[in-house]
């Protein structure tokens, strides 16, 4: 799983896909990262901010409380995070991909966050301009 953030020049952020999970963990190096060892330039990936108690330098991008933040370079337009593993605590299915009314309530996310004090518990929402999206999750599925 990784996070994709797309931004227009004057828009704070624009989303690309969806997903959500809790307790994220670093994944092994991706194929592109391994390719860098063979003389090819490695693509840049934003480092995930797993610990909600530690500061995260996002270069002016504001992430929602339910999002998993990651470090961004200055002037990033479309930027992916490093890959990571996540534990899905709960999932709900929306009737349509555009149904933004169906998601896991913030209160449930906050209750789960109390159980994992040093790991960010995050949840997915409908993909809208200004939101973060997550890969490897079905388009109509919202996760915690």
Q: What was the pLDDT predicted at 14?
A: 31
Residue closest to 73 by CA, chosen among 83, 64, 60, 86: 60
Low-confidence ranges of the chain (pLDDT < 70): 4-38, 41-42, 130
Structural contact between residues 100 and 125, judged by C-beta atoms closer than 8 angstroms: yes
**Block residue for tokens 């929602």:** 64
pLDDT tens digits, 66-96: 999 999 877 777 788 899 999 999 999 988 8
Handedness of CA 135, 141, 142, 144 (dihedral sign): negative
Q: Is-above-0.75 flag for pTM?
A: no
Q: What was the pLDDT predicted at 33?
A: 55
Please spell the DSSP secondary structure of 39-77, one letter per residue.
TSPPPP-BPB---TTS----TTPPPPTTS--B---TT-S
Which residues face 84 on adjacent strands? 26
Q: What was the pLDDT predicted at 142?
A: 92
Query: What secondary structure letter does DSSP report for 7?
Result: -
**CA distances, 30 to each of 19, 37, 58, 126, 137 (Å):** 19, 12, 23, 27, 18
Which tokens go with 21?
């999970």
């Amino acid at each position: 799983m990784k996070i994709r953030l797309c931004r227009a020049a004057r828009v704070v952020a624009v989303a690309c896909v969806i997903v959500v999970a809790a307790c994220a963990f670093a994944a092994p190096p991706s194929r592109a990262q391994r390719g860098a060892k063979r003389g090819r330039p490695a693509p840049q990936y934003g480092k995930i901010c797993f610990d909600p108690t530690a500061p995260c330098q996002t270069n002016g991008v504001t992430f929602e409380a339910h999002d998993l933040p990651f470090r961004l370079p200055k002037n990033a337009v479309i930027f992916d995070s490093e890959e990571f593993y996540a534990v899905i605590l709960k999932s709900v299915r929306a009737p349509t991909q555009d149904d933004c009314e169906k998601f896991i309530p913030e209160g449930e996310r906050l209750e789960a966050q109390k159980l994992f004090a040093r790991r960010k518990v995050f949840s997915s929402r409908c993909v809208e301009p200004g939101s973060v999206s997550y890969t490897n999750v079905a388009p109509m599925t919202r996760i915690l």
